[in-house]
Amino acid sequence: MDVISVIRTKRDRGELSDEQIDWVIDAYTRGAVADEQMSALAMAILLNGMNRGEIARWTAAMIASGERMDFSSLSRPTSDKHSTGGVGDKITLPLAPLVAACGAAVPQLSGRGLGHTGGTLDKLESIPGWKALLSNEEMLSVLDGVGSVICAAGDGLAPADKKLYALRDVTGTVEAIPLIASSIMSKKIAEGTGSLVLDVKVGTGAFMKNLEDARELASTMVGLGTDHGVRTVALLTDMATPLGLTAGNALEVRESVEVLAGGGPSDVVELTLALAREMLDAAGLRDVDPAKALADGSAMDVWRRMISAQGGDPDATLPVARETHVVTAPSSGVLTRLDAYDVGVAAWRLGAGRARKEDVVQAGAGVELHAKPGAQVRAGEPLMTLHTDTPERFEYALQAVQGSFDIAPEGTEFTATPIVLDRIA
Identity of the residue numbered 154: G
Helix (H) or strand (E) holding 366: strand 366-369
CA-to-CA distance for 96 and 179, rounded, in angstroms?
27
DSSP state of 352: I
* Strands 246-248, 376-377: pairing kind: unpaired
169: number of Cβ within 10 Å: 12
Starting at the edge strand found earlier in the chain, the sheet holding 333-338 runs: 376-377, 333-338, 405-408
Query: Catalytic residues, which ones?
Result: 82, 161, 168, 183, 187
For residue 35, with 0-12 CB atoms within 10 Å meaning exposed, 13-18 middle and 19 or more buried, which class applies? middle
Q: Measure Cα distances from 18 to 24, 54, 56, 279, 354 in Å.
A: 10, 7, 10, 32, 38
Q: Name 373's Cβ contacts closer than 8 Å, sequence gap at least 6.
A: 241, 335, 336, 337, 338, 414, 416
Contact 418, 373 (CB under 8 A): no
Phi, psi of 388 (to 5 degrees): -165, 160
CA-to-CA distance for 203 and 339, rounded, in angstroms?
9
CA-to-CA distance for 84 and 184, rounded, in angstroms?
9
253: number of Cβ within 10 Å: 23
Question: DSSP string covering 133-192, please?
Answer: ---HHHHHHHHHHHSEEEEEPPTTS-HHHHHHHHHHHTTT-TT-HHHHHHHHHHHHHHHT
In whole angstroms, what separates CA 297 from the centre of its chain?
25
CA-to-CA distance for 150 and 108, rounded, in angstroms?
5
Contact 214, 236 (CB under 8 A): yes
